[in-house]
A and B are shown apart, each in its own frame.
Chain A
Amino acid sequence: MADITVDARGLQCPMPVLKISQAMNKATAGQTVELVASDRGALSDIPAWAADMGHTIKEQFESDGEYHFVVEKRSG
């Protein structure tokens, strides 16, 4: 279970990235944020954003047409 969960279902680009970014700003290093999105663009946008920001995608899966990303905040 992630430390913080963000529901971006129903929201379109760029909201999934903005939502996880805002949640990540509140998280501390090493904490995980889980994002649930229905925007198919998130499949490429979230990994690109996480890689650039130095965060780690711990888990990623699709369930019932929804995309889940569990991202760990970079340690510093």
Chain B
Amino acid sequence: MTTEVQSEEGVEGSASQPERMVIIAASGDLDKAWPVLILATTGAAYGLDVTVFFTFWGLTILKRPDAGISGEDWRQKMLSIFAKGSSDHLKLSTLNFAGMGPWMMKGLASDKNVASVQELLELAKDMGVTLMPCQMTMDLMGLSLDDMIDGLSEPAGAGSAIGLMKEASINLFI
């Protein structure tokens, strides 16, 4: 969407591509997922062509809430049980207290009208942010696209990420 608007009107200084922003989301913590999505959506609001590359525990943000036990290897199955994932089950990096911390944090956010991770994920998709899962970590954890939410790009690897980051004016690892 952003790309269309930019190309119709032209970008100051150059009529070509909009500037690019890449975020590597490597953490499944609630307090990391939140800034990843706040910055991704705000980047899109600034007319940037934003890609978020989800790798390692970052993939758990993209898991379906109803994804069952995944993988074929018993270790992958155990991972999918212990790291249940989905944007609704993320933990805090500190003060998690077996889920008490995230529950309090999400309650506060709701009271203060702070957009939830789920809302921001939907907004990111609406605003044209590319949500790119890492193929290698999906294979490692035994995840398929069926275990993930809709609206993701094709899984890709470090080569694609570096290719995008080389052209980007903002690169973040969160």
A interface residues, Cβ below 8 angstroms from B: 10-15, 17-18, 20-22, 25, 29, 49, 52-54, 74, 76
CB distance from A42 to the nearest CB of B (A): 12
- Interchain CB contact under 8 A, B113 and A76: no
- Considering the chains assembled together, what is the distance between the CA atoms of A18 and B40 in angstroms? 11
Binary interface encoding of chain B residues 1-12 relative to chain A, with 1 for a CB under 8 A from any of its CBs, else 0: 110010001101
The reply to whether the CB of B105 lies closer than 8 angstroms to some CB of chain A is no
- Considering the chains assembled together, what is the distance between the CA atoms of A21 and B10 in angstroms? 17
- Rank and list the top 9 A-B pairs by shortest CB-CB distance, nearest first: A21-B45, A14-B42, A12-B114, A10-B113, A17-B45, A14-B38, A18-B45, A25-B5, A18-B41
On whether A12 and B42 interact (CB within 8 A), knowing A22-B127, A54-B12, the answer reads no
- Interchain CB contact under 8 A, B113 and A12: yes
B interface residues, Cβ below 8 angstroms from A: 1-2, 5, 9-10, 12, 38, 41-42, 44-47, 112-115, 123, 126-127
- Interchain CB contact under 8 A, B45 and A49: yes
On whether A12 and B46 interact (CB within 8 A), knowing A18-B127, A76-B9, the answer reads no
On whether A11 and B5 interact (CB within 8 A), knowing A18-B123, A53-B47, A76-B10, the answer reads no
What residue in chain B is nearest A12 (Cβ atoms)? B114
Residues on A with beta carbons closer than 8 Å to the beta carbon of B9 = 29, 74, 76
- Interchain CB contact under 8 A, A17 and B1: no
Residues on B with beta carbons closer than 8 Å to the beta carbon of A53 = 46-47
- Interchain CB contact under 8 A, A13 and B46: no
Residues on B with beta carbons closer than 8 Å to the beta carbon of A12 = 112-115
What residue in chain A is nearest B5 (Cβ atoms)? A25
- Considering the chains assembled together, what is the distance between the CA atoms of A15 and B124 in angstroms? 12
